[in-house]
Amino acid sequence: MRTARKGNVEMPAFVRQLVKETEKRVSSFFKGGRGGASDGEQRGQGEKEEVIPSPYLDRPVLDKLTEEGCARWGLTYALGSMQGWRANMEDFHNCVPQLGGELAEWSFFAVFDGHAGSTVAQYCSQHLLGHILGTGKRFHTEHVMKTCTGAIIEGFMQTDKHLHSVARREGWERGGTTVVSTLLSPYYIYFGNCGDSRAVLCRSGQVCFSTEDHKPYSPLEKERIESAGGSVSLQRINGSLAVSRALGDFSYKGAENRTPSQQMVSPEPEVCVVERSPMDEFLVLACDGVWDTISNEELCAFVHNRLQVCTDLRDVCTQVIDLCLYKGSLDNISIILLCFPGAPQLSAEALHQEAELEDLLESKVAEIYDELSASGEEPDLLSVLTVLASTVIPGLPPGGGIQSKRNCIISAYYHQRETHNPARSSKIDQSTTFTKSN
């Protein structure tokens, strides 16, 4: 993490420590009280719970996939993705900063959040763009917005149609994926959204636009579901599926005499067009593993602040992922961050404030550690976090709060532990290294 002063903290050691000191997957810092199956998990109503494999791990998988890139017209981007607490990684993505030929100044990005398996998400990540570009529509026309909108919708529908053929041929019906995508032209931003992943555009430091989630309990979605012979209970289609639009999920698309977009689960995306502005700062595409724990405004404020203290967009994505994890996300977490030429730049003032904040947090951790030691307790990480969480800390990153500085706090805690008991700390560190390497 390239912030003002401090380096990276070995997060696996922290997770092992928290899991050891608290009940299995239960902590006010890590969980936020969520439980049960995630939005995309499908369960048969007649199945006994004890025979259903848990969709969650005992410990989260914290390894992160990151990548970065740029386009010649000034766009820079980064991706961050992590499996987290989920038993399997079902997210996929597609990042194409420059399309070819006459679309050399265009870009395409998408996040695919699979459910009930990763097959559909992987297939769509490989084929959706090809179907959009293969519609035969020419984007350089007088009516470019209408043409592009039609191409995106048709591309989604064709992807679902071809996917269904593959599913029938290979004998599987289960599984689906939500999609949130953006097609960037020199003058417009086209958003294609199908499901509950989300895109947010930040302009002049504020949320300028965000896509709408497609949930079964939304009035228009519910009306379509019921007209196709389904029901909405527990905020899910037939009490099972928690999204009302998706690619795949063919067991929900069998109503006779109804078009694909009229089925219980529709593959038709909602396409919105926003004219580009010199005031555009950044655009975020993310799965619901992000949006379950943080609002549009909070994420916009947090990313805006982080761009002023971080030189690497991958670091910003990593910080967002960690923030969502600490705020209670139990899902896979994927985010694509697109920065326009007007994005916030590194700021000397912001760097100074960040350094002051980290100094303050270090001193607070030292005070808490000393107070707990003086009372006869042996301070553990959870005790320090508990006290610190009830302390007023000025200058925390907007939208992030105390959770966004957890790495700094953990580093300060282990520094105090080593200072007070170097022999034991050295022993613990050696054990941690051995566990991680094996």
- The per-residue DSSP string of 292-359 comes to TTS-HHHHHHHHHHHTTT-S-HHHHHHHHHHHHHHTT--S-EEEEEEE-TTS----HHHHHHHHHHHH
Give the pLDDT confidence of 382-426 residue by residue, as tens digits. Answer: 889 989 989 999 999 999 999 999 999 999 999 999 888 765 544
More confident: 76 or 49: 76
**What pLDDT sits at residue 51?**
58
**What pLDDT sits at residue 5?**
39
Model confidence band, residue 433 (pLDDT cutoffs 50, 70, 90): very low
Partners of residue 189 on adjacent β-strands: 184, 274
Question: Within 10 A of 341 (CB to CB), how many other CB atoms are there?
Answer: 11
**What pLDDT sits at residue 140?**
67
Question: Within 10 A of 376 (CB to CB), how many other CB atoms are there?
Answer: 6
More confident: 114 or 1: 114
Residue 434 has pLDDT above 90, yes or no: no
β-pairing, 91-96 vs 107-115, is antiparallel
- The per-residue DSSP string of 68-107 comes to EEE-TTS-EEEEEEEEEEESS--EEEEEESS--GGGTT-E
Model confidence band, residue 171 (pLDDT cutoffs 50, 70, 90): confident
**What pLDDT sits at residue 152?**
97
Residue 6 has pLDDT above 70, yes or no: no
Given a contact cutoff of 8 angstroms between Cβ atoms, the answer to whether 193 and 211 are in contact is yes
Give the pLDDT confidence of 342-369 residue by residue, as tens digits. Answer: 999 999 999 999 999 999 999 999 999 9
Domains 56-344 and 349-437 share a fold: no
> The pTM is what?
0.85
**What pLDDT sits at residue 20?**
45
Give the pLDDT confidence of 228-260 residue by residue, as tens digits. Answer: 999 999 999 999 999 999 999 999 999 999 999
Q: Helix 422-437 to helix 11-21 angle, to the nearest 10 degrees?
A: 100
Partners of residue 357 on adjacent β-strands: none
Mean pLDDT, range 174-202, rounded to an integer: 97
**What pLDDT sits at residue 142?**
62
Angle CA 111–117–122, to nearest 5: 40
Given a contact cutoff of 8 angstroms between Cβ atoms, the answer to whether 62 and 12 are in contact is yes
Name the residue type at position 124: C
> How remote is the C-alpha of 32 from its chain's centroid?
17
**What pLDDT sits at residue 98?**
94
Average pLDDT, the chain: 86
The matching CATH number, chosen from 1.10.20.10, 3.40.50.1100, 3.90.1150.10, 1.10.10.430, for 349-437 is: 1.10.10.430
Question: Within 10 A of 141 (CB to CB), how many other CB atoms are there?
Answer: 11
Burial class (CB in 10 A: 0-12, 13-18, 19+), 22: middle
Given a contact cutoff of 8 angstroms between Cβ atoms, the answer to whether 325 and 400 are in contact is no
Q: What percent of the chain is modeled with pLDDT above 70? A: 84
- How is the chain split into domains, by residue range? 56-344, 349-437
Give the pLDDT confidence of 54-81 residue by residue, as tens digits. Answer: 889 999 999 999 999 999 889 999 999 9
**What pLDDT sits at residue 424?**
54
The matching CATH number, chosen from 3.30.200.20, 3.60.40.10, 3.65.10.10, 3.40.109.10, for 56-344 is: 3.60.40.10
Range of weakest confidence among 8-17, 151-160, 315-324: 8-17
Tokens 């943080």 locate to 294
**What pLDDT sits at residue 331?**
97
